[in-house]
Structure 1
């Protein structure tokens, strides 16, 4: 984990000291966010794709370094791109 800024450090210290309490209807908010996550992560479509052996090996190496299956890495990359959180870097 990277270095925490001052606000993050204060929050961490308050949490560790037991000074934080859940806000509002905590259980309802957890249920709502859980439902959002399940809908987002539901894998309900299958695709087939042809890649060069070199690209596939590269993806597999990256996934191995991250400790995740390469299909999960590919799905994550595609999801981030579709959501606009992954941009092409032009050299």
Structure 2
């Protein structure tokens, strides 16, 4: 016999109602509002946002600038190459 507490006592009223509904025999998964037409539109939008080709470049930057950029990217939780890419994109787009 184990002393594992019942998780039910940690649920609020809404969560308890949801658990009861899911565990009921007559529970049906809700119908998705995603129609074929909407799915097609979303797929087209996704295709239009994908960049097909990337070009590799080489640049020379001061070591201190690169170190600062890497530190800033690390604080933001992104790779420094992604940060450089974002800076180039922002500059080119404006």
Note closer, same or farther for the CA distance 1:73–1:26 as it changes in structure 2 (3 Å cut): same
Q: Supply the RMSD in Å over aligned alpha carbons.
A: 1.9
Aligned with 2:72 (options 59, 62, 72): 62
Q: 1:1-91 residue pairs with structure 2 within 5 A?
A: 25-39=37-51, 42-84=52-94
TM-score using structure 1 length: 0.59
Note closer, same or farther for the CA distance 1:62–1:43 as it changes in structure 2 (3 Å cut): farther
**Where do 4+ consecutive residues of structure 1 move more than 2 Å?**
21-25
Where structure 2 has 5 or more consecutive residues not aligned to the other structure, the ranges are 1-32
TM-score using structure 2 length: 0.58
Where structure 1 has 5 or more consecutive residues not aligned to the other structure, the ranges are 1-20, 85-91
Q: How many residues align?
A: 62
